[in-house]
Amino acid sequence: DALEKLIAEKEQGIEKLNADFEQGIEELNQRFEEMMKVKDEGIQAIKQSGLGLMKGVLAASSKKGSDEL
């Protein structure tokens, strides 16, 4: 029957949209995880490059300067 065929076509369209949406969400999640990894590794590299030591030196020199007053 023609009506059943139209209903089936519409339902297939909905299924394809849902499948495409799920695939898109999966791709976004993968991209998000990649970006988080790059960010976390970058922050770690900066911290390991002496950021803590620099902050400590700055804090000590600021403290020493205020002691002289």
Q: Say what the pLDDT of residue 6 is.
A: 98
The one-character DSSP state at 68 is T
Q: Which two tokens stand for residue 45?
A: 């590299």
Across the range 61-65, mean pLDDT stands at 82
Q: Which two tokens stand for residue 33?
A: 């995880």
C-alpha to C-alpha distance for 3 and 12, rounded to whole angstroms = 14
pTM: 0.66
Summarised one tens digit per residue, pLDDT across range 28-41 is: 999 999 999 999 99
Nearest of 58, 39, 38, 61 to residue 50 by alpha carbon:
58
Given a cut of 60, whether residue 68 has pLDDT beyond it is no
